[in-house]
Amino acid sequence: MRKPIILLIALVICLFLTCIVCVAQEKGENRSSQLTESKVRAMIARAIPHIEAVTGRRFKTELKFRLVDRAFVRDILEGEFELQMKEVLREMPARKVRHDNRK
C-alpha cells in the first residue's frame, strides 16, 4: 500500500529538482525570483521528458499545480512533520521519548 505513495513522493521530488536545474540553466533570461504560472508550465514541460526517461513511466494526466506563499508551504510541512514524528514516537520506547530540560 505504501509503494504508490513512495513513488508519488519520489516523482514530485524529481520534478521539483528538475525544475530547479532547468531554472539554473536558463541563459540570457531575466531571472527574477517571482515565479509566474507560465514560467512554471515551461519548467514542467521541460522536466517531464527527463522524469519519464529516468523512471521509465509516463504521466497519464497533466500535472496540476498552484502557486502558493511561504506560509502555506510551512503549514503543510509542519503538518506532515507532525504526523511523521507521531509515527516515530509511537514505535519508540517510552524511556527514550522523555524530554530532558537540563542543559
Residue 46: predicted pLDDT = 92
With bands split at pLDDT 50, 70 and 90, how would you rate the model's confidence at 2?
Answer: low
Which grid coordinates belong to 103? 542543559
Tell me the per-residue pLDDT of 18-32, one tens digit each, with 9 for 90 and over. Answer: 767 666 666 545 555
Q: How much is the pTM? A: 0.46
Distance CA 95, CA 20 (A): 42
Q: How far is CA 17 from CA 25, 96, 97, in A?
A: 12, 36, 35
Tell me the per-residue pLDDT of 23-75, one tens digit each, with 9 for 90 and over. Answer: 666 654 555 568 888 998 998 899 999 989 988 889 888 888 888 888 998 99
| Amino acid letter for position 11 | L
